[in-house]
Structure 1
Amino acid sequence: MSVYLGEFIGTMLLITLGGGVVAGVVLKGTISEGAGWLVIVVGWGLAVSFAIYAVGNISAAHINPAVTVGLAFIGEFPWNKVPGYVLSQILGAFVGGTIVWLHYLPHWGKTEDVGAKLGVFCTAPAIRSYAANFVSEMIATMVLVIGVLFVGANKLTEGLNPLVIGGLVMVIGLGLGGTTGFAINPARDFGPRLAHFLLPISGKGKSDWTYSWVPIIAPLLGGALGAALYRILFDQQMDLIYFAVVVLAVLSAVFAIVKDQQNKIKTQK
């Protein structure tokens, strides 16, 4: 099996199981309806673990463009394979979203909430503030990528790495996911969002493309940031490009703070 097919299958499994958990919780008439955020977070974490076990020995199971780009940024993955990996991940996520739609076919028509339907496929912020949402996704993905590098360097967890990384995703969801739904993966958000846009889902509403850039660009920057911080802090590599990414991330955070203060002033007037 090629590495690209491995990434396709791994990401497809991730979305089929992770998106399937969301569908079971938010769609009307399911047995698991209303099970809550904890079930969703645990489901996504276990979906990540299973996807890594499935294709880890084939493609290293990046299943996430932010991981692929982050590793390439620090020289741990060849740049010439990045486009193929990213395309495979997006296509796998699209097919995974399609499988979820098909599996829950009778429940779409019974669900009136268009936001809940969209939430099966992609993320949306709890409070829409693009700058703050961007920083939230950037921070969460930074934690993911630097955590993956920690796990890879720690022989203590060898053999259990997929479960440990699944646990990492769970704690990111619990600790950092309440703001934006923790996409932390451009393919996980874009592929199923595209499926939502194209599929004949009953009463589906709009696909919210105005927000879609946030869970694409922010995780890519967060992935590069996490990888750069790992190199700077733990490998003592002081390359200028690593510091440039850190500066860009800091500027993003400052911009978000300024926008938040401006919004507070507008609200008070």
Structure 2
Amino acid sequence: MASGYISQSAHLNIVWSMGLCILGRHPWEKLPLYALSHILGAFLGAATVYLQYYDAIQVFSGGELLVAGPSATAEIFCSYPADHLSFWGGLVDQVVATAVLLIGCLALEDRRQGPLPDGLTPVLMGALVLTIELSMGSNCGCPLNPARDLGPRLFTFIAGWGEEVFKAGGDWWWIPTVAPFVGALIGTVIYELLIEAHHRNTPQEEQSPGQELETADKEEVVVDSRNNR
């Protein structure tokens, strides 16, 4: 909500940024910078949580920072698979969950679906994420965001948990890092084919966020070309 008006609906998830790039509403060249920013933000967020709960973590773990076992604390910061979860099960879990997330976010941001009252979109976005995590979080905590998982994992790696954060769960770390991109691609394509393609001729004033920027850029090019004549 705080950054929505200065970041094209708040790019708080790199896969959402990628989805907008696929739809032509965000420049691809900005995507790496957004990704690095998200990872850094998640890293600093994990560091903040660690500092705030340092005493509690030390008491619970007995001073030994572990990734697995009854006194493990690494899962406070990033996701790890449940004992029942297989490799393919984890892959499918993240692909499906992220695809649902992108479909829901695109629908909420699509003004041609019907206008929402000012300020309601962030609330519904939060409800969407909460619903997905409550219904799909039992397998691996439902990371949904590569930066949200990789940033804290890098923090735990250097903060004392060591390289086990990357080895645990059969090298689990790369699934919440890669699978959400696949899910975002699938979710974006599904929305584009089943919804977006059916109202391409909608008037400009009802366009979705990101499309206004594209339209403004085109109008600026036309004006500049006229002025140069």
TM-score interval, normalised by the smaller of the two chains: 0.7 to 0.9
Higher relative CO (CA 8 A, sep ≥ 6), structure 1 or 2? 2
Query: How many residues of Structure 1 are paired with residues of Structure 2 in the alignment?
Result: 183
| Cα distance per residue 1:93-130 (max 9 Å; x no partner) | 00110111000111122123644411111011212311
Distance 1:178 1:157, change over 3 A: farther
Match of 1:55, SS state, is coil
The equivalent of 1:123 in structure 2 is 79
CA–CA distance in 2 between the matches of 1:164 and 1:58? 19
Map residues 106-117 of structure 1 onto 2, 5 A cutoff.
Answer: 106-112=55-61, 114-115=67-68, 116-117=72-73
What residue identity is the alignment partner of 1:207? V
Is the counterpart of residue 173 in structure 1 residue 121 in structure 2?
Answer: no
Match of 1:233 among 194, 207, 220: 194
TM-score (norm 1): 0.64
User: What 5-or-longer segments of structure 1 have no aligned partner?
Assistant: 1-52, 238-269
What residue identity is the alignment partner of 2:175? V
What residue identity is the alignment partner of 1:121? F
Match of 2:146 among 186, 190, 197: 186
What residue identity is the alignment partner of 1:91? L
Match of 2:197, SS state, is coil
The equivalent of 2:214 in structure 1 is none
Map residues 82-93 of structure 1 onto 2, 5 A cutoff.
Answer: 82-93=31-42
CA–CA distance in 2 between the matches of 1:149 and 1:102? 36
Flag the structure with higher helix content.
1
CA–CA distance in 2 between the matches of 1:63 and 1:156? 20
| Cα distance per residue 1:172-224 (max 9 Å; x no partner) | 011111112100000000000000001146xx782134111100111011111
Match of 2:10 among 61, 70, 83: 61
Task: Give the superposition deviation at 1:157.
Answer: 4.8
The equivalent of 2:115 in structure 1 is 155
Task: Indicate the percent of aligned positions where both proteins have the same amino acid.
Answer: 38
| Cα distance per residue 1:40-93 (max 9 Å; x no partner) | xxxxxxxxxxxxx12112213221111111221121211011011011000100
What residue identity is the alignment partner of 1:183? P
What is the Cα-based RMSD across aligned positions, in Å?
1.8
CA–CA distance in 1 between the matches of 2:27 and 2:163? 40
CA–CA distance in 2 between the matches of 1:212 and 1:157? 39
CA–CA distance in 2 between the matches of 1:109 and 1:159? 40
Match of 1:74 among 23, 29, 43: 23
| Cα distance per residue 1:22-50 (max 9 Å; x no partner) | xxxxxxxxxxxxxxxxxxxxxxxxxxxxx
Match of 1:99 among 48, 52, 60: 48
Match of 1:236, SS state, is helix
User: What 5-or-longer segments of structure 2 have no aligned partner?
Assistant: 199-229
The equivalent of 1:208 in structure 2 is 166
Task: Give the superposition deviation at 1:144.
Answer: 0.6
Contact 1:114 1:205 in 2 (8 A): no
What residue identity is the alignment partner of 1:180? C
TM-score (norm 2): 0.75
